[in-house]
Amino acid sequence: MRARFGAVVVGLAAALGGATARADAPVPERPAQSRTAVLVKSGTVEAEGGVAVTGGSVAAPVLLKIGLGRVEPRIGVDAAGLATPGSALTGGAKLGLWRGKGGALGGWLGTNVPLGDGAAWVGQAHLLGTTRTEGGLLLQGNLGVDLGAAGGRPAAVGVPAAALLGAPVGKRWVVLGEGTAELRGRGWTLGGGARWSVTRSLRLDVGAHWPLGGGPGTLTAGLVGNAGAWGGS
C-alpha cells in the first residue's frame, strides 16, 4: 500500500510541477465537501490531492479533472486504501448548465467503481450553484439524490444538501464555512477551512468537519493545481 501511495504522490507532484506559463487558475473544491458549479478551464488538466484523518484512520484522496468545454470528466481514488477490500474508484462528470457574470449553475453525475467485494455501489445526481458577490464573498449550494446498492439490490436513497460561504482575507487567503445535511436522515455536519494561493496555478488548503450527531471529526490538508494545456503546450 505504501508503494502505491508513494507512486500516486510522485505522479501528482510531477503533474503539478510540470505546469507551464499557460496554466490557468485552478477551480478548487477542497477542503469543502460541496462541489462548485464552475468548471475547469477547457483544454487544461487539474489535480487535487491530500490527506484526511478521521479518528484513527487516514485517507489520501486524489482527484483528476479534465476541462472539455461544458463537460468536466473526473476520476478519483483513495490512494491510502487501494489494498483494502472496500476500496473503489470514483468517476463521473460535472456539467456546465449556465454561466453568467458572477455566477454559475451546473450538474454532477457520478458513481463509484468497487475494486473489492466490500465496496457498495453509489450513484449520484446533484444540482450545483455558485455565485460571488461584488465584495468577493463566495456563496455555494448543492442539492441532489444518492442511490446506493449492495449485492445487486437497492440499499438506500439519500438526499444530500450543502451550503458554503467563503470570504477573502487579503490577496492570497480565502476562509470557508460550510454545512451539510442528509435530508432523509440525521447526517448533519459543520466545517470550515482556508485556502492559500501559492502561485497563480497552485492552492494549498486545510480544513475540518464535525458531525453534529456525535463521532470523530475529520481534519484535512492538501493541494490543488492546474497543470496547463494538454501536452504542456
For the entire predicted model, the pTM comes to: 0.88
Which three three-digit cell numbers place residue 32? 469543502
Positions in the chain short of pLDDT 70: 1-22, 83, 85-86, 118-119, 151-152, 230-233
What is the per-residue pLDDT for 22? Answer: 63
Residue whose C-alpha cell reads 487535487 in the numeric block: 48
Contacts of 165 (CB under 8 A, 6+ apart): 137, 138, 139, 140, 176, 177, 178
What is the per-residue pLDDT for 1? Answer: 44
- In three-state secondary structure terms, 49 is strand
Contacts of 137 (CB under 8 A, 6+ apart): 165, 166, 167, 168
What is the per-residue pLDDT for 16? Answer: 52
Could you report the per-residue pLDDT of 184-232, keeping only the tens digit for each? 877 899 999 999 999 999 999 999 999 998 899 999 999 999 998 865 4
What is the per-residue pLDDT for 2? Answer: 45
What is the per-residue pLDDT for 11? Answer: 53
What is the per-residue pLDDT for 19? Answer: 47
What is the per-residue pLDDT for 10? Answer: 47
Distances in Å between the Cα of 81 and the Cα atoms of 5, 45, 134, 194 are: 9, 24, 42, 26
What is the per-residue pLDDT for 231? Answer: 54
What is the per-residue pLDDT for 232? Answer: 47
Residue-range domains of the chain with CATH: 2-232 (2.40.160.40)
Name the residue among 72, 20, 23 with its Cα closest to residue 201: 23
